[in-house]
Structure formats: structure tokens, C-alpha cells
A = this chain, B = another copy of it.
């Protein structure tokens, strides 16, 4: 029986500010990427989110980002490899504290926003992130981009001895070369729920239909979904139902 994980960014609220519909989404996903206070999240939010994930049997992951709350971690910040490694240790360590407080195991680490994109593009950044994970706990899964473009990022993780989880995006168009179509181009983001659900199904089965209609292979262990608004939450439900109806086991990446 085929298996797939559904991962979603969680715990992005901060102080009086709320982002995301965490309680609603947590019921449908299998892995949570929890912000660690640098680009989003705070100690109270982290505590609550770890607790909620544990209650729902959702795999707990750290979602470290650049130290840029003002930019929500979406802006590239030039950092050395050593800086990135230490930023990752700090953030993942902090989240690890809340896991221990709730008797929960941490499952994975997925870099956030610009840190993720920079890790895809830049070996130094990818190595910085991977070394941070390694220093903390080599058993933590390292979530990296599936497809051709993610090769470097995944290779860096694998060479350092990390278990790498490939993630793909059911709501994003792919080129025939197996890379994400830039968000700046029309059709890059797919909004029809049924189409997204079908693409999720295809990804669970190991392929994706590229923008030009070509069917290309794409190895993916986890699908990235979103939970910022009611439509997004509904979409997550649709994806999950579609996958399960199609005979796919939806489960945390750490159990597949």
C-alpha cells in the first residue's frame, strides 16, 4: 500500500497576532512544521502547537527561518554557513524543549521561506542547515525539495548522513524538467480543489503532469499543504479524502 505524508506550516502566530487556522488544519495533516520564533512563532505559540500536534498524532517538525520577523522570513539574508548552522541549532533546540515538556518526539526539520529557497539554490546554505540538524540529532528527518531543482539540497543532506524526505507541492505547476514553475508566471498556482487533489494523488503514485501535459516521474514522500484560510483548510480535507479514497495511506513522514 502506498503511503504519503501531508505537511503544513503551523505555529506562525506571534504575541497578539494570529496567522493560520491551526486547530482546524491539525485535524487533517500528518506533519506540522512549527515556527521557532525567528521569523514567526513565540514560546506560548510553540508550546500550544506542540501540544496540539501531539494530541492529534501529527508528526512534529521544526521550521527554522532567518531572524527576520518583520519580513516573515521570506527575504534572503546573507549569512555564513556557521551562522545558519547555529541559527538552526538554536531554533530546533528551543522547539525540542517544548517537545520534552510535552513528552513528544521531534520528527523532522524543514527550513522556512527564504532559508528553504536559499538552501535549494546555494550549497553553503543547504550545508549550514544540514549541519545544524546533524549536530542536534542525526535521526531528525530533513525535508527537502523533490524534483530536479532540489537535488543539491537533498544531496548535501544525504552526504552528511541525514535521512532526507522529498516534498512536492500539489498546488503548484511543474515544468517538464520537474521543477516548480515560477510564481511570477500565469498558471503557477493551481486553485481548483479537484485538480489539486488529483495532482496530490499522482504525486503519491510517483509522478506529476507537467505544464505542457508531459507525465514526468517525481519521487515524493510528503506533500506540502497550506492552512491560512478557510478555503485552504477545505482543500487539505479534499486532498486527504481523495488520497484515502484512492487507497493511499496518509501518515506522518516518520512512520512511512
- B15 in contact with A100 (CB, 8 Å): no
Q: Indicate which residue in B43, B69, B75, B83 contacts A90 across the interface (CB closer than 8 Å).
A: B43
- A86 in contact with B15 (CB, 8 Å): no
> Taking A15-B70, A78-B76 as contacts, is the C-beta distance between A90 and B97 under 8 angstroms?
yes
A211 interfacial by beta-carbon distance below 8 Å = no
- Please, how many angstroms separate the alpha-carbon atoms of A79 and B74 in the complex? 10
- Please, how many angstroms separate the alpha-carbon atoms of A217 and B179 in the complex? 51
- B94 in contact with A43 (CB, 8 Å): no
- B residues less than 8 Å from A47 (CB atoms): 86, 89
**Interface readout for A8-32 with B: 1 if CB under 8 Å, 0 if not?**
0000001111110000000000000
- B residues less than 8 Å from A96 (CB atoms): 93, 96-97
Q: What's the least CB distance linking A39 to chain B, in Å?
A: 9
> Taking A79-B75, A83-B44, A93-B94 as contacts, is the C-beta distance between A136 and B19 under 8 angstroms?
no
- B residues less than 8 Å from A40 (CB atoms): 16
A137 interfacial by beta-carbon distance below 8 Å = yes
Q: What's the least CB distance linking A40 to chain B, in Å?
A: 8
**Interface readout for A105-125 with B: 1 if CB under 8 Å, 0 if not?**
000000000100000000000
A219 interfacial by beta-carbon distance below 8 Å = no
- B residues less than 8 Å from A75 (CB atoms): 77-79
CB under 8 Å from chain B, chain A span 60-92: 67-72, 74-79, 82-83, 86-87, 89-92
- B19 in contact with A19 (CB, 8 Å): no
> Taking A135-B101, A137-B100 as contacts, is the C-beta distance between A14 and B70 under 8 angstroms?
yes
Spell out A's residues near B (CB within 8 Å): 14-19, 37, 40, 42-44, 46-47, 67-72, 74-79, 82-83, 86-87, 89-98, 100-101, 114, 135-137
Other than A15-B70, A68-B77, A93-B95, give 15 A-B pairs with Cβ distance below 8 A.
A16-B19, A16-B74, A17-B18, A43-B86, A44-B83, A76-B76, A76-B77, A78-B114, A86-B98, A89-B94, A89-B97, A90-B97, A91-B94, A93-B96, A96-B97
